[in-house]
Structure 1
Amino acid sequence: MVDPGGGAVCNGTLHNQSDHCHRKNCTRNGMVKEAQQNGNSNFYKPVVESFEEAPLHVMVFTYLGYGIGTLFGYLRDFLRNWGIEKCNAAIEREEQKDFVPLYQSFENFYTRNLYMRIRDNWNRPICSAPGALFDVMERVSDDYNWTFRFTGRIIKDVINMGSYNFLGLAAKYDESMKTVKDALETYGLGVGSTRHEMGTLDKHKELEDLVAKFLNVEAAMVFGMGFATNSMNIPALVGKGCLILSDELNHASLVLGARLSGATIRIFKHNRLQRVQQLAENTRYFRQRLSEMGFIIYGNEESPVVPLLLYMPAKVAAFARHLLKRKIGVVVVGFPATPLAEARARFCVSAAHTREMLDAVLEALDEMGDLLHVKYSRNRKSARPELYDETSFELED
């Protein structure tokens, strides 16, 4: 894969080398090799990403909202310290004071006083397969989101825009899933847990060998949980006295792992074919329509993970709650997983989404954008280009 500046991706690393060197037999991962052999021009497309800045008035009101929330937070902490208001927050014990702190003081303050007020928009329980449509269990809180109780009502057929179900494989059980059923009966449900519990099985070794072969390396190690892969292994690789250069848009697992390591951290600014084809078409359509409506969206134009910037915490809560009333499930993200003033909604487009589902979501987003005044973009697109046709992903000679 070549970037516009002449670099090449080899084994997942961007190397700045000339086009002449790129044509030589340098080590590449399997995807690049296959692309070169088959002449697939899609691997040589330039990378297009968008990170539009918010208008000044939006940032002013965002920080103003955080400022007011912070003042009330300090007032409530004062009342809690004097026993006037009950505090349900977890507190680290005195004997743990010499350990690396799990939470920074500001993050703990933020969790108690801001996140807790809108916590009902996270970790929503479901009671069906997380396919294109799924069922959500309704819950309410009697203590301002410190605890929840179920009402017994099931919200049926919610359009799922929050799961990483890119190829649409999450579905109710049928006979095509027999191999999955057989694997569960043979290996149980704990294969993805730490190997201290289940040990190393033949499937672990088989997967590691396959990954190593794909990456063209001697060996590979796989983990059952992506978050733990980063957060638990970074402290094993670096520690005090080391320097970590971290992208400002790194995932929360990388951020946590870097903090737990004790290293010095310096942040820098960012920089099956039918199903894949359907995913690409859905992604292009969804992103293009959001841009036309005037929303600020981040990321690569080909990425099915679509962050829509909301900025203000109050609007984050209203956005998620109103969409659930319209039977649309979304993920909303805020600090510390994002910069303080860049709270957002995250949509995960799937190949299983039909055009009718996407249109229903887009119609609701259009209404919500006007209601909450979150159409912040100054680069609204007026015309929609043609979507991929059925030959778009055919390999070229």
Structure 2
Amino acid sequence: MPSRPSPMALQSSSPYPSIFKKKSTSTMPTAASYLSAVSEADARARAHGANGSTPGSTPALSLSSSVTSSSEDTVLDESGLEFNDGLSYPRTPPTSEQVFTTVHSEFGHCANEKYRYTSQHRAGTQYKSYPEQDPPYYILLTTYLSYLLVICLGHIRDFFGKRLRPSHYKHLVSQNGYAALNSDFDSFYTRRLKTRIDDCFSHPVTGVPGRTIVMLDRYSPDYNVTMVPTGTRTRGLNVSSYNYLGFAEAKGPCADAVESSVNRYGVSACGSRLEGGTLDLHQQAEALVARFVGQEDALISSMGFATNSTIIPALVSKGCLVISDELNHASIRFGVRLSGANVRMFKHNDMNALEELLREVVSQGQPKTHRPWKKILVIVEGLFSMEGTLANLPIIMDLKKKYKFYLFVDEAHSIGALGPHGRGVADYFGINPRHIDILMGTFTKSFGAAGGYISGNKVLVDRLRVHGHTGPYAEAMSPPVLTQVIASMASIMGISSGLEKDKLNALVLPAKSEEYPGLVPVSALPSWMPVAPTMADGSDGLMRLRRLAFNARYLNRGLRKLGFITYGCDDSPVIPLLLFNPGKMAVFSRMMRTRAVPIVVVVVAYPATPLVTSRVRFCLSAAHTKEDIDTVLIACDEIGDLLDLKQGQGERWPLKEIINRAVELVAMPETD
């Protein structure tokens, strides 16, 4: 396992030499020169576009911040500037007449309609996740041997360390009658395995986590026990954030609406309250959420984790049974534990195992007494964020009709990211959301906000307002966060002023849908909220949905054609790429961050995943351009060869062919 300090952090101010060499960067001397360069580049771009050769999208990132007047394809980079000086280009939202040849840090502009796709399950076909593949035996063997070696070395280090350096182990032994702060056995994994690659985790960042993200560079003089900031920053391509629709922006219609909210209400969650402890904004947000997901009513919470952990105890109690997918989120497990209900788990997304379990629990009833269960609640996630798989909702709905259980769907990752209307997994499969008893979701992913919601029929939601712990104990959502939720949802739905409704519906909705209202009445929005034209006609939201769908399918299928083992559905914006070996996790992350165009990824290890299925997760966004996905594929192709990661089965394409045939690759049927 690599134990040297993070090469990402080994900048010029670090006392350690780097094994990775990055291209040097030059900074612009003044803001005036930067703005002058931007003006010249934009003028050249307009003239270039007038000649009939408009570029389709934002070019790939470049670390070169010099401006070459002889090139019409100049790429301006913001990495050499102070990132908090407000000079990020463009200063104002773009218009359809503008042509861009510069790098955009928050949202990459793409005018090529070929790079669009509609996320939707084909009617009449059976849903199947891409079959999980096992690597060759030598990969599994070396992975187990790696863990065994690290464990043995860790115990040897502990044995000698406790005797030669007892001061380093004070927190693991009892002193002066006080128990140890940490368990020696329980903390072994953290001390001797995770710490060795800790520079890959919890990397500090600053600014907006949009298309790119700014990392605060650091290094470690003591093998990752402590991290020392270098004082420098690096901007990299961001494929690590749940910014699915690209609403994490410091400029644009949503940002303008939030700014108006701050001017009106301030930033406190407790100020300017109306009677009953609720702002008018809270009521408008709950009504809009219910309309967005296609339910009668909704209840919002200020924290996504707390939405599950505080609401589930109000749904079930002793004498009830919860049937949970084995890979459900920790918030679901915690909520079930608090409820006191019995819980049974079934194999992940195995509908045969679910039906067998349903037969057993319905026929046998409660343990010992065999009385019928008071309530049976099946809980699944719409999109499983560690696997990239979707709940097999069509089969679950058939089982629901047959066995008469209640269904709870956690759409934390699927809402806003799936379906032709962006309404989640039910929209993706074309299922009426009213047939699902409880729809839960969060605002932290697709909507660029915070908090979560529970939706269902009005009687149920009213009961949860009274009996759920969220209402009396949780902090209220602040007005700026509520405004971000309202503005982003309105951007997806479109806004109706009562005029030309049919025309707007035809623009916003790919197909007629009775379950999902296509437009939100302007009367349902705050009267003071500014509405941009692209928000009103729904074109902005539709563009984001279709760009995300293209990016997800392109990267997912591109990685498989390169020979990598990935999990999940082709339409999932979360793409896990299997690394297996613990040492490869560290090297993969470091090599991605230290490329000429740095790429920021998330590596996931035990206990979040099984011990031998360590992985890197690519989290895609509508803010990414096709060229950004090309950049990721090129990097994965090179690093995959170096680390022997291409162990997948099936037909392989050369990298150049994948890039050139991207549109064809995305449009291929799932059976191909």
Question: For the superposition of Structure 1 and Structure 2, which TM-score range results when normalised by the shorter chain?
Answer: 0.7 to 0.9
| Cα separation, 1, equivalents of 2:316 and 2:182 | 20
Show CA shifts across 1:2-21 (max 9, x none).
xxxxxxxxxxxxxxxxxxxx
| Cα separation, 2, equivalents of 1:270 and 1:115 | 27
Task: Map 1:374-385 onto structure 2 (within 5 A).
Answer: 374-382=645-653
Partner of 1:123: 202
Q: Does structure 1 residue 331 correspond to structure 2 residue 410?
A: no
- Kindly tell me the number of residue pairs found equivalent between the two proteins: 343
Task: Map 1:112-191 onto structure 2 (within 5 A).
Answer: 112-156=191-235, 158-173=236-251, 177-189=255-267, 191=269
Cα deviation, residue 218, structure 1:
5.1
Partner of 1:17: none
Partner of 2:137: 56
Q: Is the 8 A contact 2:172 2:184 kept in 1?
A: no
Show CA shifts across 1:199-251 (max 9, x none).
64433333233333445555433223323434555567678998654434333
Partner of 2:146: 65
| Cα separation, 2, equivalents of 1:84 and 1:74 | 14
2:552 is aligned, of 263, 266, 283, to 283
| Cα separation, 1, equivalents of 2:604 and 2:296 | 38
In terms of mean alpha carbon deviation, does 264-273 or 276-285 score higher? Answer: 264-273
| Cα separation, 1, equivalents of 2:213 and 2:304 | 24
Q: Is the 8 A contact 2:323 2:343 kept in 1?
A: yes
Partner of 2:575: 306
Q: Indicate the SS of the match to 1:150.
A: strand
Q: Does structure 1 residue 251 correspond to structure 2 residue 527?
A: no
Q: Is the 8 A contact 1:251 1:337 kept in 2?
A: no
| Cα separation, 2, equivalents of 1:132 and 1:150 | 24
Partner of 1:209: 287
Partner of 2:389: none
| Cα separation, 2, equivalents of 1:240 and 1:69 | 44
| Cα separation, 1, equivalents of 2:141 and 2:544 | 43
Partner of 1:4: none
User: In structure 2, what residue type is equivalent to 1:359?
Assistant: D
Q: Is the 8 A contact 1:239 1:263 kept in 2?
A: yes
Partner of 1:32: none
Q: Indicate the SS of the match to 1:322.
A: helix
Cα deviation, residue 93, structure 1:
12
User: In structure 1, what residue type is equivalent to 2:300?
Assistant: V
Cα deviation, residue 149, structure 1:
2.1
Partner of 2:584: 315
Show CA shifts across 1:291-335 (max 9, x none).
011111111110111011111111101110110001000011111
Q: 1:345 to 1:92 in 2, by over 3 A?
A: farther
| Cα separation, 2, equivalents of 1:128 and 1:261 | 39
Q: 1:177 to 1:222 in 2, by over 3 A?
A: same
| Cα separation, 2, equivalents of 1:240 and 1:201 | 35
Q: Is the 8 A contact 1:281 1:388 kept in 2?
A: no
Q: Indicate the SS of the match to 1:65.
A: helix
| Cα separation, 1, equivalents of 2:329 and 2:185 | 19
Q: 1:308 to 1:231 in 2, by over 3 A?
A: farther
Q: 1:391 to 1:112 in 2, by over 3 A?
A: closer
User: In structure 2, what residue type is equivalent to 1:118?
Assistant: I
Cα deviation, residue 182, structure 1:
2.0
Cα deviation, residue 284, structure 1:
1.4
Q: Is the 8 A contact 2:240 2:601 kept in 1?
A: yes
Show CA shifts across 1:106-127 (max 9, x none).
6633222211211111122222
Q: Indicate the SS of the match to 1:171.
A: coil
1:108 is aligned, of 187, 198, 202, to 187
Q: Is the 8 A contact 1:307 1:347 kept in 2?
A: yes
Q: Is the 8 A contact 1:310 1:345 kept in 2?
A: yes
Partner of 1:36: none
What TM-score results when the alignment is normalised by the length of structure 1? 0.72
User: In structure 1, what residue type is equivalent to 2:622?
Assistant: A
Q: Indicate the SS of the match to 1:220.
A: strand
User: In structure 1, what residue type is equivalent to 2:232?
Assistant: R
What TM-score results when the alignment is normalised by the length of structure 2? 0.45
Cα deviation, residue 347, structure 1:
0.4
Q: 1:232 to 1:94 in 2, by over 3 A?
A: farther
| Cα separation, 2, equivalents of 1:262 and 1:340 | 30
User: In structure 1, what residue type is equivalent to 2:141?
Assistant: V
Partner of 1:33: none
Q: Does structure 1 residue 343 correspond to structure 2 residue 421?
A: no
Show CA shifts across 1:131-171 (max 9, x none).
11222110122333233221011113x11011112222223
Aligned identity (percent) is 42
In terms of mean alpha carbon deviation, does 166-175 or 289-298 score higher? Answer: 166-175
Q: 1:297 to 1:243 in 2, by over 3 A?
A: same
Q: 1:390 to 1:306 in 2, by over 3 A?
A: closer
Q: 1:56 to 1:106 in 2, by over 3 A?
A: farther
In terms of mean alpha carbon deviation, does 377-386 or 146-155 score higher? Answer: 377-386
Partner of 1:360: 631
Cα deviation, residue 184, structure 1:
3.4
Q: Mind listing any 5+ residue stretches in structure 1 that lack a counterpart?
A: 1-39, 393-397
Q: Which has the larger radius of gyration?
A: 2
| Cα separation, 2, equivalents of 1:184 and 1:356 | 36
Q: 1:56 to 1:126 in 2, by over 3 A?
A: same
